[in-house]
């Protein structure tokens, strides 16, 4: 696993919201759901849509291009047309800092 990179403040990401950050040249979505923070790759594997421009509904983020959905906890595709998962990254909370493992 890579080193952890600070991407934002936990206090700035309310439950049910997310942020988009760059970690070592890769965009990641960091979502705050069920009292935890989860990080996934920002690019939809179906057609490259920007998940960071999508919407979060519970634990699922929806791609704005073709409405594929992904579980932010696991990266698994939950709604076609996407069938492949998005990558997931370890998250660490250090005080108020959200840290994501480098891809």
User: Where along the chain do its domains lie?
Assistant: 4-101
- 59-79 tens-digit pLDDT: 999 999 999 999 999 999 999
Which residue has 């070592």 as its token pair?
A: 24
Q: Which CATH homologous superfamily contains domain 4-101?
A: Rieske [2Fe-2S] iron-sulphur domain (2.102.10.10)
Judge whether residue 56 has pLDDT over 90: yes
- pLDDT, tens digit, 9 for 90 and up, residues 77-96: 999 999 999 999 999 999 99
Section 23-45 average pLDDT: 97
Q: How sure is the predictor about 103, in pLDDT bands with cuts at 50, 70 and 90?
A: confident
Percent of the chain with pLDDT over 70: 99
pTM (2 d.p.): 0.95
Structure confidence at residue 1 (pLDDT): 52
């Amino acid at each position: 696993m890579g080193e952890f990179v600070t991407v934002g403040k936990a206090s700035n990401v309310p439950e049910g919201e997310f942020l988009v950050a760059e970690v070592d040249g890769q965009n990641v979505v960091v979502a705050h759901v069920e009292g935890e923070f989860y990080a996934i790759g920002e690019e939809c594997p179906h057609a490259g849509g920007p998940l960071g421009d999508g919407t979060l509904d519970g634990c699922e983020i929806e791609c704005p291009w073709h409405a594929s959905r992904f579980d932010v906890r696991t990266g698994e595709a939950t709604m076609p047309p996407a069938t492949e998962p998005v990558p997931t990254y370890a998250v660490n909370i250090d005080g108020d800092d959200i840290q994501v493992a480098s891809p």
